[in-house]
Amino acid sequence: MRKIILASNNQGKIKEFNFMLKGVYEVVSMGDMGVKEVPETGLTFVENALIKARNASEQSDLPALADDSGLNVASLNGDPGIYSARYSGGNDEQNIDKLLKNMDGIKNRTAYFYCAIVFVEHANDPTPVIAIGKWQGEILEQRQGKNGFGYDAVFYLPTLKKSSAELEVSVKNIISHRALAMQDLLAKL
């Protein structure tokens, strides 16, 4: 089985990628390989994923996968967007608190999670493989559920009548933005 580095130290993402790539790749994290993070200076999810993939590949001499994903809320002009993980300057709970405060009194709660995954064979790969996934939902007025991470507890799926944090991991890993992007990536590879 081929070894690949995932340009992340986010334990939630590492678990999801290991589940989705089981039997295809042996996934190692940046921490496993001593790879240092690089600033995400891109203006889009794709740019940030490419920056992270090239950095991880360069420091590890392995093919690399990176994703950049986030929550886009229509009534907040797409915020928190590429800044989702650092929206409040704090942790996941503080990010949710800020989001709920900013949405107080807003009726249009339409939102979507967006994920860009980039695969590079090596740091200077001129033909990176780019895959995209988009997951539609709504923002709840309060947290619901205990599973997942990030904004899962406030991301509601009307068709399932559940928040992302109420889904079984096996279900989320089939229908989420990251799962959809991974399906797209595996088809392209």
Q: What is the CATH number of the domain that holds 177?
A: 3.90.950.10
Q: Is residue 67 among the annotated active site residues?
A: no
Q: What is the C-alpha to C-alpha distance for residues 9 and 90, in angstroms, rounded to an integer?
A: 16
In this prediction, residue 173 carries a pLDDT of 84
- Which residues constitute the domain of residue 158? 2-188
Identify the active-site residue in 67, 68, 92, 152: 68
The fraction of the chain above a pLDDT of 70, given in percent, is 100
Contacts of 31 by beta carbon, 8 Å cutoff, 6+ apart: 9
The residue ranking higher by pLDDT, 28 or 80, is 80
Angle between helices 11-21 and 177-188 (to 10 degrees): 40
The residue ranking higher by pLDDT, 174 or 134, is 134
pTM of the model: 0.90
* Whether the predicted pLDDT of 39 surpasses 80: yes
How many structural domains are present in the chain? 1
